[in-house]
Amino acid sequence: MTNDFNDITQTFTSLTNSYRLFVGAAEELTRTPSVPEEIIEDAIVRSAKLGSTLDLLLLFQILSILTNNRNE
């Protein structure tokens, strides 16, 4: 079980770092005067969707670990 959690930790550390960069890029767009509001809004929506996707991936991974450990 410890190895499973270590794998999850490594995977989600990488994904979380990517997500932070994604959100940071969207935030940076808000400080760039020449960027249209529509592009900024699209970047924010994509960031939110990515965050939701990461939440679901984490939930599925935890459920998988719990199910596998129950069967052992």
Q: What's phi and psi for 36, nearest 5 deg?
A: -65, 150
pLDDT at residue 48, rounded to an integer: 93
pLDDT digits (tens, 9 = 90+) for 35-67: 999 999 999 999 999 999 989 988 888 888 788
Q: Which domain holds residue 57?
A: 2-71
Name the domain count of the chain: 1
pLDDT at residue 64, rounded to an integer: 81
pLDDT band for position 71 (50/70/90)? low
pLDDT at residue 9, rounded to an integer: 79
More confident residue, 20 or 12: 20
pLDDT at residue 62, rounded to an integer: 81
* Distance (Å, whole) CA 43 – CA 38: 9
